[in-house]
Amino acid sequence: MLRGDMLRGNIVLRLRTIAVAWLLAPLGAFAAEPVKQIGIYVQPYYQAADAPAAAPRVAVGKSFDALLASTQREDIVAARDAVVAAPGRVTPMTLMVLAIRLYDVGLRDDAVFWFYAAKDRFITLAEVVTIQPSGLAQVEDAVRSFATLAGPVINGYAFCDLANQQALRGKALDWVEGHPYEPIFMTQLTAKPGDRGENLKVAIRKLRGDVEKERGYFEDAKNRNEFYAARQKNDVDTKFCWK
């Protein structure tokens, strides 16, 4: 089982790095067979089951834990729908676990969307609120670990279809902009200098810049061909592009 207590560093800079900078390196860790379960743990929020048919351990919040720990696809869909219905205070950790469980039940486009939304939601928080003084160090560590450990699997699938990946990436950021994370505006969390609303707008602009950088990277035929040649070398289509 992969561990979640790793890769310290600046969380915002790391999460805002375009996917291609870190996507390829971990691919050799997976056998050349379809990856149908994201087998990771990030304490205390998530521990994958030892077998695909078993239930994982989930501790992201009482209203979501039972649904996200279910082995029934309809329960995972219900959790997704509950997020859509009332997104304001849904934590980035909940969105990460939702993405993992959607992948596990075969709803991989949904998994990609919510994985990107989870990262972007945390980044907007971290660009407006000071993490350490606000008591959010555990949140920072968890989001970093989820992104590091689940990212190679979710992005492994996402980049099976570049156009689809780019569309999902843009839609996820649109969702984050359209549904601001309510704790950003809670006065009990220490804000960075400046107006919170304006700082949030700046954070969204930075993220849109990252999306455009990634798009521009793949518009270069040399970069795109090298990227997909590396995927072919690592049997990535076998691992992640199964039907």
pLDDT at position 115: 98
Cα gap 47→147, rounded to integer Å = 15
182 and 89 Cβ atoms separated by less than 8 Å: yes
DSSP labels, 119-137:
HHHHHHHHHHB-TTTTT-H
Q: Is the pLDDT of residue 27 over 80?
A: no
Give the confidence band of 52 by pLDDT, cuts at 50, 70, 90: confident
Q: So what's the pLDDT on residue 220?
A: 97
Rounded to an integer, the average pLDDT of 80-94 is 98
Average pLDDT value for residue range 96-100: 98
Phi then psi dihedrals of residue 194, to 5 deg: 105, 175
**What are the φ and ψ backbone dihedral angles of 42, each rounded to 5 degrees?**
-135, 100
Looking at per-residue pLDDT, the higher value among 26 and 95 belongs to 95
Of 95, 27, 107, the C-alpha closest to 64 is 95
The model's pTM: 0.91
Contact 131, 140 (CB under 8 A): yes
CB contact at 8 A, 56 and 65: no
